[in-house]
Structure 1
Amino acid sequence: MSEPMNVTAVAERSGNWWAVEVPEIPGLFTQARRLDQVDGMVRDAARMLGREVGMVTVDPKLSEEDERMIDELLAARREATEARAKASRLTAGAVDALRGQGMTVRDVADIIGITPQRVSALANA
């Protein structure tokens, strides 16, 4: 057997299957039902060709429309994560400011719309 090499498994939908090609190993083609099965299928196919692989990176190829949809989804998730982080910082600042003015935990909770327990946790952090 040859030295193990890291490879990229290019997977493209073909009906209900993922058709898989490994460009680093000419002639290595296989298929899998699910992306999580690609690694094992590539290793099996490589062994049949007398090759051993190290790490298998799965690269699913999607249509341009699907790629745009996924890009938009991931961007929205990033924005949501950033918005949550900003809201957390603003909440902590509001708790500090309002508690600093002598407001009760319950009043602060009512004003900013969180539980009194959360107000206490933020005030004690």
Structure 2
Amino acid sequence: MGTYTARARREGRWWMIEVPEIDGLTQARRLGDVEEMARELIAVTLDVPLDDVAVAVAVTAVGDVDVAEALSKIRDERAEAARLERQASAEARELARELASAELAMRDIGSILGVSHQRVAQLLASS
């Protein structure tokens, strides 16, 4: 049995839960209860054991806030930040190697790169 999606949105004091795979709806008081309520709905609807039901919760909206869209943007930005961090690290390693080959002391290289001399040693040792 696959994993079902539980789309949760806040309406007033309740979390409304939609499980599109079974065209089912339920509700919960707290976000922490959404997964269990969705699992129970699926188990009862499909007449399967509760332990056989896996659910992935996706918060879609809280009032007028489009949580899903905001989270998608945040995930994209974090991925881009990670990519840029990897690129900057590679460039720092390359510059450290170039400066070391010019016979600069590790402390001087560290001052140039804005890192400790210990970090320079790590950069030079990494491949």
- TM-score scaled by structure 1? 0.76
| Corresponding pairs, count | 121
Residue type at the aligned position of 1:42: A
Residue type at the aligned position of 2:34: V
The Cα of 1:60 is off from its aligned counterpart by 2.5
After superposition, the Cα gap between the structure-2 partners of 1:18 and 1:124, relative to the gap in structure 1 and judged at 3 Å, is same
- Find the aligned partners of 1:107 and 1:40 in 2 and give their Cα distance: 58
Structure 2 segments unaligned to the other structure (5+ residues): none
- 1:30 equivalent in alignment to 2:27: yes
Which residue does 1:82 correspond to in 2? Answer: 83
After superposition, the Cα gap between the structure-2 partners of 1:25 and 1:64, relative to the gap in structure 1 and judged at 3 Å, is same
Which secondary structure does the structure 1 equivalent of 2:22 belong to?
A: coil
After superposition, the Cα gap between the structure-2 partners of 1:45 and 1:70, relative to the gap in structure 1 and judged at 3 Å, is closer
Q: Which moved more, 1:23-32 or 1:105-114?
A: 23-32
Which residue does 2:5 correspond to in 1? Answer: 8
Deviations 1:64-113, CA, capped at 9 Å, x for gaps: 75444333322322221111111100110011110011111111111111
Contact 2:14–2:27 at 8 Å: present in 1 too? no
- TM-score scaled by structure 2? 0.75
Q: Percent identity?
A: 28
- Find the aligned partners of 1:12 and 1:61 in 2 and give their Cα distance: 5
Structure 1 segments unaligned to the other structure (5+ residues): none
The answer to which structure has the higher helix fraction is 2
